[in-house]
Structure 1
Amino acid sequence: MSRATDRDLRLLREAVELSRSCPPSRTAFSVGALVVAADGTVLADGYSRRDDPHDHAEEAALRALAADDPRLATATLYSSLEPCSTRASRPRSCTALILGTPIPRVVFAWREPDLFVDCEGAELLRAAGREVVEVPGLAPLVREVNAHLLGPR
């Protein structure tokens, strides 16, 4: 299993901070995402519901990039939440959108709980040969951002 680097932790924290910009929703998670080039340059960012009430963070970030952008072949996608594998509001899941690019590596903090759907994003990405790094140590920050969906503890 791949381990997170110090740079991964810093950029994943940035994605979590970006999730705090999400318009509130009682029916969707607040998520932040970054697409980062191999040299550390942030190529695009996104957060849930940024441009449209149905936007997911990864979707918003990927929309800003051409699918044939050569930098994607060595890029990493950082998402505060595991990329979704099922969508009710759009035809393609975030996992499918990622698999439609050459992005070889995905780093996320929190596995999507089965609150809305049963998510298999990490497994599908790995099965397709993508490197997936889970950083559960940062999951409490993502749960904090989404506390309104989780109810009393």
Structure 2
Amino acid sequence: MSVVLQKQLLAERRHAGIYAVCSAHPWVIEAAALQALEDGTSLLVEATSNQVNQDGGYTGMQPSDFRSFVGEIAEGVGVPVERLYFGGDHLGPNPWSSLNAVEAMKRACRMVDQYARAGFTKIHLDASMPCLGDPEVLSDEIVA
């Protein structure tokens, strides 16, 4: 959607889509924040279960840490806090798929709780990946 059209829709108070940036790299987050500032739009930044979780993920951050990290960058370029949103993407047992499903799902539930408590408002649950002892492809019934 062009910037002109997006601004027109915003001026008319019509709904328009919002893009999500799924990155923990400070340059990417800063660029997205600057774009949102220039466009006058909201900024939705997401983290995946592998990036951010109660064990630190590969970024070393828990959900509250990630929220602070992104918030500081966005605030630094002038994005108003009311235009900043956080999402958890593909939250499920994936980081613990080497464990059995019961243990992996317990950890996934703790992770989702931490995301919610940290103020993430877009939560994408994903239990589609097999864990230790599961068949390679899970049935729709098991995933649901």
TM-score (norm 1): 0.38
* Bigger relative contact order, structure 1 or 2 (CA pairs below 8 A, ≥6 apart): 1
Between structures 1 and 2, the one with greater helix share: 2
